[in-house]
Amino acid sequence: MTNLEKISSIKKTLGSKLTIPAHHYETDDIVACADFVGDSYKLAVDCSHTDAQYIVFCGVRFMAESAAILAKPGQKVLHPEPGSGCPMADMITAEQAHAALKLAATRTSREIIPVVYMNSYADTKAFAGEHGGAVCTSSNAAKIVQHFLDAGKAVLFAPDYNLGINTADLLGIGAQTIKITRDIQLESIADDPRMFLWDGFCHVHKEFSLAQISRQRASDAKMQVIVHPECNREVVQTADISGSTSQIYAAIAQSPAGSSWAVGTEYQFVNRMAEKFPEKTIVPITTSICVEMSKIDQEKLLLSLESITNHEESGSPLLHEVIVPHHLRDHARMALNRMLAIMEN
Ligand code: SF4
């Protein structure tokens, strides 16, 4: 039997006890095994609704952690490759976030609320929850930040600088931002700052440049350029559309046959869209891959599933179960639930 056949057989045996979410940037082999595929927001929402006893999360570690934070009592979350991390999430710790909040407070009399990107670890999410803040994703950052601005607050946004500044531009407050560097220094000064931006980044999305976009436009006059908001500010400003992975997918899926798209996000996802919509021209701006997402393969997924079967039969320990310490989980859950509540209103 192939690994895929073994995986299918275990899925059939476990039935509704098991669910396998996978992020859009996972490999085709993993997407083929998934019960649902999405970006980090969709996966968090779908995971919060599932009643499956075992969630085997195919994504990077912060996503599996978020599923564990939102899990219902008795639900178990497994991560087939614990070494699949996110360099951006590594760019801030709760300790640094506390220091940044303290420094930001010297620049404004407004209360500062942390908004942390989903791409962060449990300690940073817990920091946000503890200080009245929320998690956001690239699809809802503007709505979450606006919620706190409307209440007269300033926002400390972390860890992605590009998502922060692109969100600020969208909300018309790009000039009222201050960058805080990782050695806890203020890099720019603004009057009445409304957003303090941490200087983390995603190397996959920072790769895209204006020159690459010009080349794509020169190759096809009707080419539309769509990019992820983790791209650099000038790239987002030059693109025709900017949106989260799900928003990019929706825009392309809904476009008429014959449309041409140059896409600025992870290559495997762009490639899969090009195969799915052969009646449209869909080209990657560069072949920029998230190697972290590629670390999970069918063999590792199968080991996770076999550990569930063994656990059911003999009570043996689950392989790579995601455990978030209580003291972090409660505050991190508050931050995630605030995001879900703001989005429902
Ligand atoms: S694409 Fe970038 S932000 Fe997303 S997991 Fe990979 S490194 Fe992290």
Show the 3-state SS of 67-103. Answer: HHHHCCCCCEEECCCCCCCCCCHHHCCHHHHHHHHHH
Rounded distance from Cα 204 to ligand 1 centre (Å): 7
- 87 CA closest ligand 1 atom index: 7
pTM of the model: 0.95
Q: What pLDDT does residue 253 have? A: 98
Rounded distance from Cα 22 to ligand 1 centre (Å): 14
Mind listing the domains of the chain with CATH numbers? Answer: 3-85+293-323 (3.40.50.10800), 89-203 (3.40.50), 208-284 (3.40.50.10800)
Pocket of ligand 1 (CB under 6 A): 25, 60, 86-88, 119, 202, 204, 266, 290, 292-293
What is the pLDDT averaged over residues 337-345? 92
Q: What pLDDT does residue 101 have? A: 98
Helix (H) or strand (E) holding 13: helix 3-14
Phi, psi (rounded to 5 degrees) for 214: -60, -40
Q: Is pLDDT of 189 > 90?
A: no
Bridge partners (DSSP) of residue 178 are 196
Q: Which of 27, 292, 296 to mutate to test the pocket of ligand 1 (most atoms within 8 A of CB)?
A: 292
The answer to whether 245 and 228 have CB atoms below 8 angstroms apart is yes
- Atom 6, ligand 1: residue with shortest CA distance: 290
Q: In what order do the strands lie in the sheet with 223-227?
A: 241-242, 223-227, 260-264, 281-284
Q: Is pLDDT of 313 > 90?
A: yes
Q: What pLDDT does residue 203 have? A: 96
Q: Is pLDDT of 260 > 90?
A: yes
pLDDT bucket at 164, cuts 50 / 70 / 90: very high
- Atom 2, ligand 1: residue with shortest CA distance: 202
Q: What pLDDT does residue 197 have? A: 98
The alpha carbon of residue 47 and the mean position of all alpha carbons in its chain are separated, in whole angstroms, by 14
What is the pLDDT averaged over residues 242-263? 97
What's the mean pLDDT when you consider all of the chain? 96
Question: Residues 6 or more apart from 267 whose CB is under 8 A from it?
Answer: 284, 286, 287, 288, 289
Q: What pLDDT does residue 345 have? A: 81
